[in-house]
């Protein structure tokens, strides 16, 4: 096998950073590991800490005369060490490691036919995709520029069972209309249209939390397995905020207790494993912006609301045969999020009441949380919904959005018809209904900080 040489480094401009992170790349060096061969990729980061991603590219023409082509995640497989994660060490060599024989059959690359492209992403502008290894106890979080870069290929079932794939949502400083869309499709009184702005980007799960992912942390709980061969890739059901955040009626309430959760809850366990301190279900504003992905209509595709168009994006009463389905098998939205309507309801942090006798009082309390002048277009920033003190005497519940497989065309919508009462049994922390699940979200900052103490 020929000696490999790395001679390519890439920079991503960081206009918001005090000093742009820079990468200086050294030659790849072979070293022997057992009977295999390991490629060592050594580089030095300077300027500021950064998310560093590495791509392996090949050119089969002599003298590197042709176009360089990435081996892709399926061809590269796993990169270990200081690759696809936050690198905090500055001014000193750090190393990543590649085992080419694991994925490309041990083929030889001449020095002019292989290169490593090392890219430094500012920590305030990380790559679009983040993958959390739910089984790892260390270095659980990795970043990728696209799903094409995922180790072993995006279609590998592990991305729906033991790894959590999250997409960066570019919401920062975008003013958008929340609630009833233009034209009033699927109108409900409580879906009050108003302008909203979020001052931050965040990560959202591209899939609803699956049964396989849930069972990584609660192998004894059998409620979510539905008995199908592919159950592990179907969304977790009967999901309640008690199981997710903490089994009590008074503690761990949003927004009074913020993102606090019980260490013994599913979210507490995921946070402990990943290091992401605010992994949670989203606010309704975060959910709606991510799931709309720029669509102003009831469907995430932006298409006309017909049954055929609904079936493209959602498992619903017309096509689901009264059951959940493997996540990600309908068309995704513009952000690459799947099942944003249909399949299962998704719990949100905001609390509401749909009791008929309380509806007028609830709507008035909800409107009171908007910024003054909202009726004339004033923008509400980072809404969190109402608190118990905002709506004294109202029986508040956590909300749920997106509707589920057992609802039809007149009920499924990004804005309204799928919104409902997130009731639950506090003795078990579970919801009595078999069509309630969730999608996980987290802040960019907490995701970055999760790698601060990572060791390989």
CATH code at position 411: 3.90.1580.10
398 φ, ψ (degrees, to nearest 5): -70, 140
Q: Tell me which residue of 84, 75, 198 sits closest to 130, measured CA to CA.
A: 84
Does 377 lie in the same domain as 237?
yes
pLDDT bucket at 4, cuts 50 / 70 / 90: very low
For residue 112, the model assigns a pLDDT of 67
Residue 2 lies in a domain: no
Does 61 lie in the same domain as 162?
no
Does 250 lie in the same domain as 360?
yes
For residue 418, the model assigns a pLDDT of 47
Q: How many domains does the structure of the chain reveal?
A: 2
Does 269 lie in the same domain as 225?
yes
Does 96 lie in the same domain as 212?
no
| Rounded average pLDDT over 324-343 | 96
Residue 387 lies in a domain: yes
Which range has highest mean pLDDT (28-32, 107-111, 230-234, 385-389)?
A: 230-234
For residue 110, the model assigns a pLDDT of 62
| Rounded average pLDDT over 23-42 | 64
Does 197 lie in the same domain as 79?
no
Which range has highest mean pLDDT (169-183, 262-276, 295-309, 426-440)?
A: 262-276
For residue 86, the model assigns a pLDDT of 95
The DSSP output letter for 229 is T
Q: Is the pLDDT of residue 54 over 60?
A: yes
Which range has highest mean pLDDT (211-220, 320-329, 428-437)?
A: 320-329
Does 300 lie in the same domain as 155?
yes
Q: Is the pLDDT of residue 34 over 90?
A: no
Does 169 lie in the same domain as 294?
yes
Q: Could you give the CA distance from residue 415 to residue 404 in angstroms, rounded to a whole number? A: 14
Residue 3 lies in a domain: no
For residue 5, the model assigns a pLDDT of 27
Does 229 lie in the same domain as 376?
yes
| Rounded average pLDDT over 197-213 | 97
Q: Where are the beta strands (DSSP E) in 34-128?
A: 36-46, 50-58, 69-70, 79-81, 85-87, 93-98, 114-122
Rounded mean pLDDT of the chain? 83
pLDDT bucket at 351, cuts 50 / 70 / 90: confident
Does 156 lie in the same domain as 93?
no
Does 330 lie in the same domain as 421?
yes
Q: What percentage of the chain has pLDDT greater than the value 70?
A: 79
Q: Is the pLDDT of residue 320 over 80?
A: yes
The DSSP-derived string for 174-219 is EEEEESSPTT-TT--TT---EEEEESS-EEEESSPPBHHHHHHH-T
Residue 285 lies in a domain: yes
pLDDT bucket at 8, cuts 50 / 70 / 90: very low
For residue 317, give Cα distances in angstroms to 153, 198, 382, 399, 432.
Answer: 32, 34, 34, 21, 20
pLDDT bucket at 251, cuts 50 / 70 / 90: confident
Residue 327 lies in a domain: yes
Please tell me which residue, 219 or 241, carries the higher pLDDT value.
241
Structure tokens at 162: 């033991």
The per-residue pLDDT for range 61-114, each reduced to its tens digit, is 656 667 888 989 998 888 999 999 999 999 899 999 887 765 665 556 666 677
pLDDT bucket at 32, cuts 50 / 70 / 90: very low
Q: What percentage of the chain has pLDDT greater than the value 90?
A: 50
Residue with tokens 């059951």: 323
Does 153 lie in the same domain as 109?
no
Of 131-140, 344-353, 393-402, which gets the smallest average pLDDT? 393-402
381 within 8 A of 374, measured Cβ to Cβ? no
pLDDT bucket at 409, cuts 50 / 70 / 90: confident
Residue 455 lies in a domain: no
Domain range enclosing 316: 148-449
For residue 16, the model assigns a pLDDT of 31
Residue 90 lies in a domain: yes
For residue 427, the model assigns a pLDDT of 44
| Rounded average pLDDT over 14-25 | 54
Residue 135 lies in a domain: no
Q: Could you give the CA distance from residue 320 to residue 332 in angstroms, rounded to a whole number? A: 17
């Amino acid at each position: 096998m020929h000696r490999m040489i790395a001679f390519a480094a890439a920079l991503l401009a960081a206009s918001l950073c005090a000093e742009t992170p820079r990468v200086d790349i050294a030659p790849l060096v072979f070293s022997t590991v057992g009977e295999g061969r390991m490629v060592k990729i050594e580089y030095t980061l300077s300027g500021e800490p950064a998310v560093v991603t590495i791509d392996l590219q090949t050119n089969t023409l002599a003298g590197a005369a042709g176009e360089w082509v990435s081996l892709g995640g399926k061809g590269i497989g796993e990169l270990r060490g200081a690759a696809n994660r936050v690198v905090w060490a500055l001014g000193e060599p750090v190393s990543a490691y590649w085992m080419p024989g694991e994925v490309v059959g041990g083929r030889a690359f001449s020095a002019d036919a292989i290169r490593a492209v090392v890219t430094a992403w500012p920590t305030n502008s990380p790559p679009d995709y983040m993958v959390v290894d739910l089984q790892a106890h260390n270095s659980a979080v990795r970043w990728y520029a696209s799903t094409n870069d995922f180790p072993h290929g995006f279609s590998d079932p592990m991305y729906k069972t033991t790894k959590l794939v999250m997409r960066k949502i570019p919401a920062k400083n975008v003013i958008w209309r929340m609630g009833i869309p233009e034209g009033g499709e699927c109108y409900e009184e409580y879906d009050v249209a108003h302008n909203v702005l979020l001052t931050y980007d965040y990560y959202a799960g591209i899939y609803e939390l699956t049964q396989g992912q849930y069972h990584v942390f609660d192998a004894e709980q059998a409620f979510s397995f539905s008995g199908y061969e592919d159950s592990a890739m179907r969304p977790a059901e009967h999901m309640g905020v008690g199981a997710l955040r903490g089994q009590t009626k008074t503690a761990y309430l949003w927004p009074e207790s913020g993102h606090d959760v019980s260490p013994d809850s599913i979210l507490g366990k995921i946070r402990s494993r990943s290091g992401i301190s605010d992994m949670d279900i989203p606010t309704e504003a975060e959910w709606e912006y991510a799931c709309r992905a720029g669509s102003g209509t009831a469907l995430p595709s932006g298409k006309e609301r017909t049954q055929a168009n609904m079936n493209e994006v959602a498992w619903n009463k017309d096509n689901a045969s009264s059951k959940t389905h493997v996540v990600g098998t309908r068309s995704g939205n513009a952000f690459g999020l799947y099942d944003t309507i249909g399949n299962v309801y998704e719990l949100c942090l905001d609390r509401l009441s749909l009791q008929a006798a309380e509806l007028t009082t609830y709507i008035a309390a909800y409107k009171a949380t908007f910024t003054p002048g909202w009726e004339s277009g004033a923008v509400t920033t980072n809404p969190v919904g109402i608190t118990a003190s905002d709506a004294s005497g109202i029986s508040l519940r956590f909300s749920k959005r997106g509707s589920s497989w057992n609802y039809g065309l007149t009920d499924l919508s990004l804005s309204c018809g799928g919104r409902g009462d997130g009731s639950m049994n506090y003795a078990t922390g579970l919801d009595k209904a078999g069509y309630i699940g969730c999608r996980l979200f987290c802040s960019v900052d907490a995701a970055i900080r999760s790698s601060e103490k990572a060791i390989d």
